[in-house]
């Protein structure tokens, strides 16, 4: 768990963030024809980064490796799809709280049933719950079954009959995703620094001792699981809004594993690491895919190389670099 970022690292991250925020300006000049596609790609990555950060709260901070985290991501999307009227825009102030509430409740129940286990058993139980969610939407006719469901009109934010936020606008949605990404990061940073977060981080290091100090680890783990599940649902809500489509694959173990790789590659327990992990993994995927049909091969090689060379992920490397430089001066 990293509580304070070294100054150099903070500067690097702010520069990266600024480059991302200004992409609509410089991207147009640099990429021209591919600009529209890249805008969509980056928006999608930011949403995955939100999901990755929420998983980091469990995996990197509390030491709870979940292989079913995507279930809440998918659930958030499905709530939007099922609540959207077919030919009208849903009111964001209704569907968003509803999606978050459903995901919070679902993660509370799943968390309650799974945090009693630990280690490999926790992985198995969360995997099982994730797959239950997958098959629920895959096999039931409620929301399109295995074909998925469309959201024809994106939710809007209206005040006095005027559209305040038009999510159909790609540029607007890009900044909404960026805002949520930064907001979730700030929220999780605040949580980690709070008394709750300190206990949670300590559970990840030495749960037995935490109990010996007078804390009930189960309660903290359950609250963390619920927060993480709700934030994953927020990500899923955004993803469904972006693509106008939800499918059972959003909930599946494949998606859960994919996000777990982002967290591990990026650097567990650092919050900014999983964000970097999301960008690295997705951009590498895009780059390799445009070069060769056998993109999985270089992708796999890259993942193996990072895991072998950087046991603490990309974030670990950056932390070492920024601390080393700071000490040398």
Rounded Cα distance, 197 and 181, in Å:
19
Q: Which is nearer to other proteins, 176 or 191 (CB)?
A: 191
Contact residue for other proteins among 155, 197, 274, 316 (CB under 8 A): 197
Question: Quick check: 325 binds other proteins (CB under 8 A)?
Answer: no
Question: Quick check: 211 binds other proteins (CB under 8 A)?
Answer: yes
Rounded Cα distance, 289 and 273, in Å:
24
**What torsion do the CA atoms of 74, 80, 82, 88 make, to the nearest 10 degrees?**
-150
Between 218 and 247, how does the x/- string for binding to other proteins read (CB under 8 A)? -xx--x------------------------
| Nearest distance, CB of residue 285 and other proteins, angstroms | 33
Q: Which is nearer to other proteins, 34 or 323 (CB)?
A: 323
Question: Quick check: 216 binds other proteins (CB under 8 A)?
Answer: yes
Rounded Cα distance, 136 and 150, in Å:
17
Helix (H) or strand (E) holding 158, with range, is strand 156-159
The structure tokens listed for 176 are 């909404």
Question: Quick check: 199 binds other proteins (CB under 8 A)?
Answer: yes
Q: Which residue has the tokens 């935490």?
A: 210
| Nearest distance, CB of residue 263 and other proteins, angstroms | 18
Contacts of 226 (CB under 8 A, 6+ apart): 104, 107, 108, 111
State the angle between helix axes of 170-193 and 7-21 in degrees (0 to 180), rounded to the nearest 10: 160
Contact residue for other proteins among 28, 116, 209, 323 (CB under 8 A): 209
Q: Which is nearer to other proteins, 189 or 285 (CB)?
A: 189
Contact residue for other proteins among 29, 214, 309, 327 (CB under 8 A): 214
Question: Quick check: 165 binds other proteins (CB under 8 A)?
Answer: no
Q: Any idea what DSSP says for residue 51?
A: H
The residues of the shown chain that bind other proteins, judged by CB under 8 A, are 1, 190-191, 193-199, 202, 205-206, 208-216, 219-220, 223
């Amino acid at each position: 768990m990293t509580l304070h970022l070294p100054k150099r690292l903070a500067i690097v991250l702010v520069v990266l963030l600024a480059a991302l925020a200004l992409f609509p300006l410089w991207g147009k000049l640099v990429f021209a024809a591919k600009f529209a596609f890249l805008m969509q790609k980056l928006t999608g990555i930011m949403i995955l980064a939100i999901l990755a950060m929420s998983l980091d709260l469990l995996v990197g901070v509390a030491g709870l490796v979940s292989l079913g985290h995507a279930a809440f991501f998918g659930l958030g999307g499905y709530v939007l799809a099922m609540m959207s009227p077919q030919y009208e825009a849903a009111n964001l102030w209704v569907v968003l709280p509803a999606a978050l509430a459903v995901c919070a409740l679902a993660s509370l129940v799943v968390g309650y049933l799974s945090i009693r286990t630990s280690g490999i058993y926790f992985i198995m139980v969360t995997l099982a719950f994730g797959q239950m969610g997958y098959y629920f939407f895959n096999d039931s006719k409620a929301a399109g079954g295995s074909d998925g469901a469309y959201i024809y009109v994106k939710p809007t934010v209206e005040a006095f009959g005027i559209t305040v936020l038009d999510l159909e606008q790609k540029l607007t949605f890009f900044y909404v995703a960026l805002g949520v990404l930064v907001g979730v990061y700030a929220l999780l940073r605040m949580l980690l620094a709070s008394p709750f977060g300190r206990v949670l981080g300590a559970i990840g290091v030495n749960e037995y001792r935490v109990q010996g100090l007078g804390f009930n680890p189960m309660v903290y783990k359950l609250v963390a699981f619920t927060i993480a599940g709700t934030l994953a649902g927020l990500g899923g809500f955004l993803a469904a809004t972006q693509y106008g489509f939800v499918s059972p694959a959003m909930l599946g173990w494949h998606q859960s594993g994919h996000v777990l790789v982002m967290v591990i590659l990026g650097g567990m327990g650092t919050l900014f690491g999983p964000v970097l992990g999301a960008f690295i993994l997705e951009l590498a995927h895009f780059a390799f895919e445009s070069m060769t049909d056998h993109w999985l091969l270089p992708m796999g090689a890259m993942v193996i190389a990072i895991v072998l060379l950087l046991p603490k992920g990309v974030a670990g490397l950056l932390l070492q670099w920024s601390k080393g430089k700071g000490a040398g001066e």
